[in-house]
Amino acid sequence: SKTSYSFNGTNYQPISREKYVYTKLYTTTFNTGIKLSRPKQYADPTYFVFSGCAIHPCDLQPDIDAYIESVFAIDTKAYREASLLTSSENYTFDPLDSTKYVLVSTDYTYKEQNLAIKEKSTLSSEGSLLKTTFKYPHDFLPAEPYQTMVNKRIYSPVIEQSDYNGPKLISKAKTNYENWGNNIIEPEYIQVQNGDNGALENRVNYLSYDGHANVTGVRKTEDMPVSYLW
C-alpha cells in the first residue's frame, strides 16, 4: 500500500491511496526422484567389528537387524507457483474532507500458460464498470502461425484486446501475425473495431521485414507506403 498526503498548515490530509493484493496461483507439485535415508546412526564405524561379536554373537544381532530395517525411501518434490497481482484499490480523497473519496477497484485474472493478464475489470464507486480482455497465441490454436509461436515459446504478444463498458463492447484491436520465413514471425496487419455493431477493419499493413525482423515496409490504410532502411 502507498498513501500520499498534503500539509494544510496544521495537519496532514490524505490525497490518494493505493492498495495491492497478491495471491499465489497455479501451485503445482512435481515428484523429482526418490531419496533413500537411514535414521539409525552409529557414531563409531567399527562398532560391528570390534564390539565383541565373536564372544557374544547373539547380543549384536538385534542391532544389525534394526540397522538393516531402518532404510526408508522419501519422494523428493519440487513446487511451482506464481505470486500475481489479483486486485487493487485506488482512492482519491476530497482535499477538504478526507472521509469523502472516489474509489476505483480493479480485479485481475490470468492465463496459466503464460501468466499474462486474461481479464481486467475496473469498478468505480460512481458505478462505472469497465472491462478489458486479452487474447494470446494460445487462444488461437491450432491455427498458424500461432501454433508455431507456442512451439517456440512465444507466449506473450497480445493478439486481441477488447474493451467493454458494462456488457457493451467499446472497441477491439487485433494484431494478426504471419510467418515471414527464416524464423521470423511478426505482425502482418492490425485491425480495429469500434463499437459492437461494426466489424474489424484493417488499419495498418506490415509489408516486409529484413533478416533481423526489422520492419522495412508499412502502410496505413488508404495512405502511402513507408519504407525503412536499417
Residue 14 burial (C-beta neighbours within 10 Å; 0-12, 13-18, 19+): middle
Residue 190 contacts residue 174 (beta carbons within 8 Å): yes
Task: Give the tens place of pLDDT for each residue, 126-181.
Answer: 788 999 999 999 999 999 999 999 999 999 999 999 999 988 999 999 999 999 99
How many Å apart are CA 113 and CA 108, to the nearest integer? Answer: 16
- Residue 69 φ/ψ, nearest 5 degrees: -75, -10
Q: What is the pLDDT of residue 50?
A: 47
Q: What is the pLDDT of residue 197?
A: 78
Identify the segments of the chain with pLDDT beneath 70: 39-64, 67
Residue 201 contacts residue 221 (beta carbons within 8 Å): yes
Which of these, 60, 38, 32, lies nearest to 48 by C-alpha position?
60
Structure pTM?
Answer: 0.75
What radius of gyration, in Å, describes the C-alpha atoms of the chain?
32
Q: What is the pLDDT of residue 47?
A: 54
Residue 120 contacts residue 106 (beta carbons within 8 Å): yes
- Residue 223 φ/ψ, nearest 5 degrees: -135, 170
Q: What is the pLDDT of residue 62?
A: 60
- Tell me the residue ranges of DSSP E strands in 145-200: 160-165, 168-179, 185-194
Residue holding cell 495491492? 20
How many Å apart are CA 91 and CA 122, to the nearest integer? Answer: 13
